[in-house]
Structures are given as C-alpha cells and as structure tokens.
Amino acid sequence: MPLNFNRVEFIRSAASPRDFLRDGLPQLAFAGRSNVGKSSVINRVVSRKNFARVGASPGKTSQINYFLLDGRAYLVDLPGYGYAKVSKAERDRWGALMEAYFASGLITHGVMIVDARHKPTADDGTMAEWFFQTGCPLLVVANKLDKLKKSEVEPNLQTIRETLSLRSGDHLVPFSAEKGTGKEELLERLEAAIG
Ligand code: GDP
C-alpha cells in the first residue's frame, strides 16, 4: 500500500536516551545545519504549513522529535547543528544526545539536509560520517534550489557529492521546500526506504 504522507502525528520529544522510541518501526533520521530549512523540508513532505516549527530559535532545541508517518515509520527530527550562538553547555547536551541516538542502532535511514548553494561545511561532513558509521543508507536533500541559477545546479550537486564523499548507494535529491521542487522524488525515496 502506498504510504500516506499526509497521515502524520507528533508522538513525543526525547531529551535523553530513556525517551528514545524502541518499538521496531523504521526510523528516518533528519539532520541538518540550523537554518538550512530542515523544518520547511519536513513540512513540505507532510504537506503541512507549520508541522515542524520553521525558524524555531536556532540551536536552542536539544531534543529529538518523533513523528509517526501513516502508522508505519517514524520521521525523526534531530536537533540542528552549527549555530554559532549556543552555549558550551547546550552544545555538550546536543553532542551527548546525538551520540547516544547514533549509537543506539535505532536509525534505519539517514536524511541529511544541506544548502544547495554552498559547499557542505565541516559540520555537514561530520554529520555524514556519523550516518556512514551507522551503516544505513543516506539520502541527501540539497535544499533552497530556487536560489540557484540553472547553470549552477549540476556543478553544485557534484560539489556536494564529492565533499560529503557520498557512496554509490546514497541518493542526492535537489529540492526546494519553498517551491516544492523535488517533492515527488523525495517522497519516492522515503517510501522506498520504508519498504
Ligand atoms: P531549520 O532551522 O533548518 O529548521 O530551517 P527553517 O525550516 O526554519 O528555514 C530557515 C529559513 O530558510 C526560513 O526563513 C525559511 O523560510 C527558509 N527556507 C527554507 N527552505 C527554503 C527553500 O527551499 N528556499 C528558500 N528560498 N528559502 C527556504
């Protein structure tokens, strides 16, 4: 049966490993630098305006949010990274939570949002490495495509592929959360991941 991406409900936030969900359903973990548009991408996926909070105080949310997709899989919204103005305590909390989640074996598929305009940052590279270490397939979403000239698209995608050292089975989806470009491909890929 096709997955109904409009059937989505917020389940819980986890601020520590004891709150992780461990019920065996697939977990698609969404990660990205603060402000890259992760919330906007999630809202586009589930066709809601304000499901994941857009522009919610960057870096201030050291928690993992679980959304149940059509009763079949979790869309897991990981806290954003790379926001300069966070305290060391906050960064440490973020690191401990992420380390625990990545080591938990609960991730079945990684989804990383990057900015289509720029070469991925060192933090993006580290995040990709974390996903590689889980052994899960990784789907990279190059967001804000609407801000590129047509001639810039292919070279930028190539730079992203190379900088993140994407493996042959990893997919890169050009996307615009603002315009909806790439939505069909992203939904297809997510659905294939859930199986
Ligand atoms: P998050 O911090 O990664 O969750 O990012 P948000 O979803 O809050 O988006 C950050 C900012 O980028 C907001 O002002 C969004 O409107 C904007 N934004 C997100 N996606 C796109 C996109 O595809 N194109 C453009 N032009 N702006 C976007």
The pLDDT of residue 62: 83
Closest-CA residue, ligand 1 atom 19, reads 37
- The pLDDT value recorded for residue 49 is 86
| Positions in the chain whose pLDDT score sits under 70 | 54-61
What pLDDT does 54 receive?
64
Say how many C-beta atoms besides its own lie within 10 A of residue 83's C-beta.
18
If you write DSSP's letter for every residue of the chain in order, what string do you get?
Answer: ----TT-EEEEEEESSGGG---SS--EEEEEEBTTSSHHHHHHHHTT-SSSSPTT--TT----EEEEEETTTEEEEEPPPB--TT--HHHHHHHHHHHHHHHHTT--SEEEEEEETTSPPPHHHHHHHHHHHHHT--EEEEEE-GGGS-HHHHHHHHHHHHHHTT--TT-EEEE--TTT-TTHHHHHHHHHHHH-
Q: What is the pLDDT of residue 84?
A: 74
Give me 85's structure tokens: 């103005």
Q: Which residues' Cβ are closer than 6 Å to ligand 1? A: 32, 34-40, 54-55, 58, 80, 143-144, 146-147, 176-178
Residue 47 is predicted with a pLDDT of 94
Q: What is the pLDDT of residue 55?
A: 58
Cα 97 to averaged position of ligand 1 atoms, centre (Å): 24
Cβ pair 38, 55 in contact under 8 A: no
The pLDDT of residue 59: 46
Ligand 1 centre to CA of 54 (Å) is 7
Model's pTM, two decimal places?
A: 0.96
Closest atom of ligand 1 relative to the 38 alpha carbon: 3
Measured by CA distance, the residue closest to atom 14 of ligand 1 is 55
Q: Distance from the CA of 156 to the center of ligand 1, in angstroms?
A: 19
Closest CA to 74 of 95, 92, 101: 101
**Model confidence pLDDT, tens digit, residues 56-74:** 555 456 899 999 999 999 9
Give the pLDDT of residue 1. 79
**Tokens of residue 2, six digits:** 């096709």
Name the closest-CA residue to atom 15, ligand 1.
37
